[in-house]
Amino acid sequence: MSLVLIRHGKSVWNLENKFTGWYDIELAPEGMIEAEKAASFLADNEFKPDVCFTSYLQRANKTLEIILNHMPVKMVKDIEIIKSWKLNERHYGALQGLNKDDTKNKYGEQKFLEWRRSYNIPPPILDEDSIMNPKKDPIYENENTDELPLTECLKDTYDRVVPYWTSEIKPLILEKDVMIAAHGNSLRALCKFLFDIEDDDIVNLEIPTGNPLLINLDKSCKILSARYLDSSRAENLPKI
């Protein structure tokens, strides 16, 4: 059974070195090119997704759209696409929109690293009156707004991604090839679960933008093998 995880291509705020989180920023031109290249790698490896999962955020949606539009028609015919906010990026709270270097200079490197990389320390909470409060965003109008966060640590992200994987994605893996187009931290959370990474070690896992991670699974969804399709941009994977 095959599963592909792909982090969206570089966004405008990735290039501007800003905390993005749930802010719905668009892909940068460089990110669009990454998505086109990802399509070529998937086609070269004859990976045909039967169903695709993605978040509610346009940078992941657009990445998926570009990939499917640049793969051979026979490989993307009749693909089901399912969106869920449970696959959204980690919510960076009051840090969203701030430049990372400016934040580090203001609060110090230790606090900066705690907010950015620790497993269980969330950033300062977003003000409820902020225009970035997801309760004010119409794309979430049909969701239970009481569940929508105003800040998250990676553990919080894990606690929404993994149950979604278990209830919605894993059952389909048994009969279909699945691709998930999501975000650095939602995919880190899922990889923590799939690769059984310790809390203290997950900080070291960096997922590159726009590079498909092909995972082969057995019938119990244990990993048999895993590799990035673009080997020139492959980050170190955890041991299986």
Cα distances (angstroms) measured from residue 214 to each of 72, 127, 146, 186, 240: 19, 39, 35, 17, 14
DSSP state of 5: E
- List the structure tokens of 224: 């048999």
Hunting for tokens 């934040």 — which residue is that?
A: 103
DSSP secondary structure of 14-73: HHTTB--TT--PPBPHHHHHHHHHHHHHHHHTT---SEEEE-SSHHHHHHHHHHHHTS-H
Among all residues, which ones are annotated catalytic?
A: 8, 89
